[in-house]
Chains A and B, each alone.
Chain A
Amino acid sequence: QVHLVDSGGGLVKPGGSLRLSCAASGFTFSDYYMTWIRQAPGKGLEWVSDISGSSRYTNYADSVKGRFTISRDNAKNSLYLQMESLRADDTAVYYCARPVTRDGDSLPGYWGQGSLVTVSS
């Protein structure tokens, strides 16, 4: 079955960097777009970024564009999110997610357990 395990979260100072990872199993990883979604404490869900199966296409929310970089390693069945110039409002639980289908516009169907990123001095 589909299994996603998020890791890499932690406490970082404003302006700092952090790299999140997501280990995937139970499906052909390279066949699917993958997505990062975040949830600030007590708030709703916000799409952050996604990447095509081949890494050819990437897309970012305006709130993170130019600061975050999504990547993947299909040989390792892993998804990454490199976060730079972190701000207090980036504090959130970050989830990796796999869409329901292989279509590029498919909504999230499977979620990792989440990784907490706290940006504070």
Chain B
Amino acid sequence: QSVLTQPPSASGTPGQRVTISCSGSSSSVVSNTINWYQQLPGTAPKLLISSNNQRSSGVPDRFSGSKSGTSASLAISGLQSEDEADYYCAAWDDSLNGPVFGGGTKLTVL
């Protein structure tokens, strides 16, 4: 059971807006910032969002991140077929002294 909880799946149609949630359950995690990663099939994860809401270089502004309290969200607007991927949130765990990841959300573009 990860200390960061994500829904296992999400879906949307092209052009739609979808959000993926990431909820923290440990005091050693919830006060820290969240990164979001996109993993296309058969490839390494790629950083999308750092420090809750900072888009990485080259990431379209269709992707946005936010955090409120113990929960964070990744929003994807104007959904495109190439957005079909697994998405992971991550935070620093002060107890582990290392990063922890959510279980991942598989996004399907219908």
Contact = CB atoms under 8 A, between A and B. Distances in A.
Interface residues of B, number: 26
A35 to B, nearest CB: 7
A2 to B, nearest CB: 11
SS of A interface (majority)? strand
B91 interface: yes
Contacts of A111: 44-46
A107 B92 contact: yes
Residue in A46, A50, A108, A113 whose Cβ sees the most chain B Cβ within 10 Å? A108
Interface residues of A, number: 21
Contacts, number: 60
Contacts of B46: 111
Contact of B97 (A37, A59, A114): A59
A50 B35 contact: no
Interface string B38-77: 0000011111001000001000000000000000000000
Given A50-B98, A59-B97, A100-B50, A107 B90 contact: yes
Interface of B: 2, 32-33, 35, 37, 43-47, 50, 56, 88, 90-92, 94, 96-104
